[in-house]
Amino acid sequence: MQLTIRTVGILMLMLCISATQVQAQFLKNLFKDGAGKKSGQHKKAHKALTSDNYKQQGFDYPNSKVKEHYRIDVLADLYLDELVKEDKPTYKGKAPDKAVAGLDFYKGIKLAADSLSKLNYQIDVYVHDVSEAHKSVGELISNKKLESADLIIGVLQSADLEVVAKYAQKRHIHFVSALSPSDAGISDNPYFTILQPTLRSHCEWIRERIASKHAERKVVVYSHSHEVVDAMTYGYVTDGYEELFRKLSCNKLPRMEKMKAAFDSEHPNVLIMPILDASYADSLLQELTDSFPKYKFIVYGMPSWKGMPSLRKENAHPNVVVYLTSPFYFDTKSATSQYLVSHCRKIFGSKPGEMVYRGFETMMWYGIKLHKYGTIFDEGKGTGIFTQFKIQPRWDKEQYPLYMENLNLFLLKYEKGGYVLE
């Protein structure tokens, strides 16, 4: 069935497209995990992943439902009512910024759906545009539009997460939050998975990196307490480890004498800047470059810095090495990437951006899981499509179970106007 982007608010991908033998074999080589398994083998493979296994991790799951046919519901803000009138686009050129993430993720979903169909996976994918008032998350649930779902994937903002997570828990199906790093205050819900690691996880990863690579140094941590989110992020970095760090207040640009007292002129200075505002963080980096040109700095920043203008310039900060954590890294030279690029250009006439990669990877990862194990599966095990997710249970300080989260992070190093994988 040919997919169109405008179909009464719901885009349905019926995965029944036949493939040539060459295409199918190529895909099987790319996505070996779970390809070509029969139903009886599903049950045998799942035996090691039953509730007893998960109980040891703090969560308790029922037995998996293994089927011949599965359904995945994708919830995303596509803004189709605004972007399409009488089956014609209302804009010229690039889509509005608010719609780009959802539309690009949808492209990745479509490409993955085609790939899964070529592997003869029996999966129907329903894409719901939740930006429409009459198709909101609450309306979909109230009108029982998600009752047949075996898996829900959400490209949603934090405000919608709790209601979907509660629904998924009640139905005993996985709900994957693919876009927002927020936990939305959700706890004791083993069916809720955060695919984009939380800010806390980024900070904990940086702290562990500092402990292993720079244990001999007193690390300087900038404190921006006037901004609530930055004050919270500072706490994520230092909580319980205050003795390891030296605090440098930056509610205003730090004074020269305070900075000089905190820095070492003979050895590289290791700094953590838990500042989410990329513009203000840029001014702090510039201060290091302008005021201490002969000092050396190693700075660990936040994921929000990735689009910082100065880090696109080749010699913006010659005395500063900047590291950023990122949950996703796509090797554009890999066979899988080349396959995605080719098919994206063929179907959509464009080169895939990051959200296309993420949509493709998410659908492939979870489509394979459903096909191989049924409705209950170990999310953190399997062959990676691009980035190899590391999905694990999370607990609070009292070891109370919260949810599942992808804890896989990459370290990117700013170098010559771009980023390289460390």
Give residue 132's pLDDT band: very low, low, confident or very high (50, 70, 90).
confident
Position 260 pLDDT exceeds 60 = yes
More reliable by pLDDT, 246 or 26: 246
Same fold, 10-197+330-408 and 199-326: yes
Residue 33 CA to its chain's centroid (Å): 21
83-87, 187-191, 273-277, range with the lowest pLDDT:
83-87
49-53, 91-95, 161-165, 216-220, range with the lowest pLDDT:
49-53
Residue % of the chain over a pLDDT of 70: 86
Q: What is the pLDDT of residue 273?
A: 98
For residue 380, give Cα distances in angstroms to 150, 183, 313, 388, 392.
18, 18, 37, 8, 7
For residue 169, give Cα distances in angstroms to 250, 281, 403.
43, 40, 11
- For strand 401-406 and strand 391-395, is the pairing parallel, antiparallel, or unpaired? antiparallel
The 10s digit of each residue's pLDDT in 22-67 is: 344 444 455 444 333 333 333 333 333 333 444 445 578 899 999 9
Q: What is the pLDDT of residue 57?
A: 55
Position 369 pLDDT exceeds 80 = yes
Q: How far apart are CA 156 and CA 160, in angstroms?
A: 6
> Which residues make Cβ contacts (< 8 Å) with residue 346, sequence separation at least 6?
none
Considering only CA atoms, which of 264, 257, 255 is closest in space to residue 220?
A: 264
Q: Which CATH architecture has domain 10-197+330-408?
A: 3-Layer(aba) Sandwich (3.40)
Considering only CA atoms, which of 182, 179, 164, 188 is closest in space to residue 60?
A: 188
Residue % of the chain over a pLDDT of 90: 64
* Structural domain spans, the chain: 10-197+330-408, 199-326
Q: What is the pLDDT of residue 266?
A: 94
Tell me what the mean pLDDT of segment 375-393 comes to.
84
Q: Which two tokens stand for residue 204?
A: 């904990």
Q: How far apart are CA 365 and CA 111, in angstroms?
A: 13
13-22, 63-72, 267-276, range with the lowest pLDDT:
13-22
Q: What is the pLDDT of residue 88?
A: 79
Tell me what the mean pLDDT of segment 402-416 comes to.
91
Q: 397 near 184, Cβ under 8 Å?
A: no
Position 153 pLDDT exceeds 90 = yes
* Residue 294: burial class (beta carbons within 10 Å; 0-12, 13-18, 19+): exposed
Give residue 130's pLDDT band: very low, low, confident or very high (50, 70, 90).
very high
Q: Phi/psi class of residue 86: alpha, beta or left (left: φ > 0; alpha: ψ in -120 to 50)?
A: left
The 10s digit of each residue's pLDDT in 289-335 is: 999 999 999 999 999 998 898 988 888 899 999 999 998 888 888 89
> Which residues make Cβ contacts (< 8 Å) with residue 257, sequence separation at least 6?
none
Q: What is the pLDDT of residue 307?
A: 84
More reliable by pLDDT, 245 or 12: 245
Position 267 pLDDT exceeds 90 = yes
Q: How far apart are CA 166 and CA 139, in angstroms?
A: 15
Tell me what the mean pLDDT of segment 235-239 comes to.
95
Tell me what the mean pLDDT of segment 224-232 comes to.
96
Q: What is the pLDDT of residue 216?
A: 83
Position 421 pLDDT exceeds 80 = yes
Q: How far apart are CA 406 and CA 402, in angstroms?
A: 13
The 10s digit of each residue's pLDDT in 184-196 is: 999 999 999 999 9
Look at the domain 199-326 and name its fold.
Rossmann fold (3.40.50)
SS in 3 state form for the chain? Answer: CCCCCCCCCEEEEECCCCCCHHHHHHHHHHCCCCCCCCHHHHHHHHHHHCHHHHHCCCCCCCCCCCCCCEEEEEEECCCHHHHEECCEECCCCCCCHHHHHHHHHHHHHHHHHHHHHHCCCCEEEEEEECCCHHHCHHHHHHCCCCCCCCEEEEECCHHHHHHHHHHHHHHCCEEEECCCCCCCCCCCCCCEEECCCCHHHHHHHHHHHHHHHCCCCCEEEEECCCCHHHHHHHHHHHCCCHHHEEEEECCCCCCHHHHHHHCCCCCCEEEECCCCCHHHHHHHHHHHHHHCCCCCEEEECCHHHHHCHHHHCCCCCCCEEEEEEECCCCCCCCHHHHHHHHHHHHHHCCCCCHHHHHHHHHHHHHHHHHHHHCCCCCCCCCCCCCCCCCEEEEECCCCCEEEEEECCCEEEEEECCEEEEC
Position 343 pLDDT exceeds 70 = yes
Q: What is the pLDDT of residue 12?
A: 36
Tell me what the mean pLDDT of segment 237-256 comes to.
93
Cα angle: 287, vertex 288, 289; to 5 degrees = 90
Other beta carbons within 10 Å of 353: 16
Considering only CA atoms, which of 33, 127, 35 is closest in space to residue 72?
A: 127
Q: What is the pLDDT of residue 58?
A: 58
Q: How far apart are CA 205 and CA 213, in angstroms?
A: 12
Q: Which two tokens stand for residue 383?
A: 């062959």
Position 7 pLDDT exceeds 70 = no
Considering 52-61, 87-96, 147-156, 326-335, the range whose residues carry the highest mean pLDDT is 147-156
> Which residues make Cβ contacts (< 8 Å) with residue 73, sequence separation at least 6?
125, 126, 128, 145, 146, 149, 151, 152, 153
Q: What is the pLDDT of residue 399?
A: 84
Q: How far apart are CA 184 and CA 220, in angstroms?
A: 31
